[in-house]
Amino acid sequence: MTGLLDYQPGSSPLHKAHPLVKLLLAVAICVCGFLADSIYINIIILLLIVLCGARCGLARQIRATLKGMGALCAILFILQLPFIGSGRVWIDLPLGMTVTDQGVRFCAQLCLRLIGATLPLVMLFAVTRLSDLTNTLVAQLGIPYRYAFVLTTAVRFIPVLLGEMREVIEAQTARGVELDVGVLRKIRLIPPLCAPLLVSCVQRMENNALAAELRGFYLRKRGSGYRRYPLSGVDYAWIVSCVILLTISIIL
């Protein structure tokens, strides 16, 4: 099964778009979510993201992201809600804290903004090959190859490290280590879990550094790439959509 940030092949208009246009679209949607002052605009943006992801065949990634972000947003909602005292009081809490209508609105909009800022980035990596994104960042934006490589490699290794962490947990469980314990006892489990993962990461970094050096990593320049990524009419349509979204978010 593919990971959350792995590329998903497809033939949707978003798959065919220019890598930089997809990056621009993801950033524009994130900015729109934080610029919008109306909670209804945030809901509409979130619905558009979900519909676009479903059209691109990314339903599994969207469900997994919503599940993970839902738990985080629920915790943030509960922790933040009692400390916003402005607005009409709904519930009186101990220690002088209250639940107000403006507090509920603020916390709900904060959660919607966080989800709306996370989903576009997940979709970006799901519909864009990291090699294409690296090549366009270097060739068309002039970013040094080593910096673009570090950015895309960090994203590529997130699912790899998560998989290795699962293997470490399974290995420690097979050796009799009890992981289903209290919070204080879990602190004592950090060394047996993190030490093998750290050793594995160091070994992987050394192997990758040696492989990159043998392939002429330090000789790579802006014009070293052989692939070209011309803009098409669909790309200009996406750019116009970004401008429209930003304009609506600023006005409303």
Alpha-carbon distance of 186 to 180, in angstroms, equals 8
| Residue 83 neighbours by CB distance under 10 Å | 10
Three-state secondary structure call for residue 90: strand
Per-residue pLDDT, 182: 61
Q: Cα dihedral sign for 180, 184, 189, 190?
A: positive
The alpha-carbon radius of gyration of the chain (Å, integer) is 22
Nearest residue to 243 (alpha-carbon basis) of 4, 21, 28: 28
Beta bridge partners of 99: 91
Per-residue pLDDT, 1: 43
* Cβ atoms of 106 and 91 closer than 8 Å: no
From first to last of the 252 residues of the chain, give the pLDDT tens digit: 456 667 888 888 888 888 888 888 888 888 888 888 788 888 888 888 888 888 888 888 888 888 888 888 888 888 888 888 777 878 777 766 778 888 888 888 888 888 888 888 888 888 888 888 888 888 777 788 778 878 777 777 777 777 788 887 788 778 776 766 665 666 677 777 777 778 888 888 788 778 877 777 777 666 666 677 788 888 888 888 888 888 887 776
Domain residue ranges in the chain: 1-142+222-252, 144-221
* Cβ atoms of 247 and 29 closer than 8 Å: no
157 φ/ψ sector (left φ>0, alpha ψ -120 to 50, else beta) = alpha
Per-residue pLDDT, 126: 86
Per-residue pLDDT, 12: 84
Alpha-carbon distance of 73 to 238, in angstroms, equals 30
Burial 51-61 (b: 16+ CB within 10 A, else e): ebbeebbbeeb
Three-state secondary structure call for residue 129: coil
Burial 193-226 (b: 16+ CB within 10 A, else e): beebeeebeeeeeeeeeeeeeeeeeeebeeeebe
Alpha-carbon distance of 121 to 5, in angstroms, equals 9
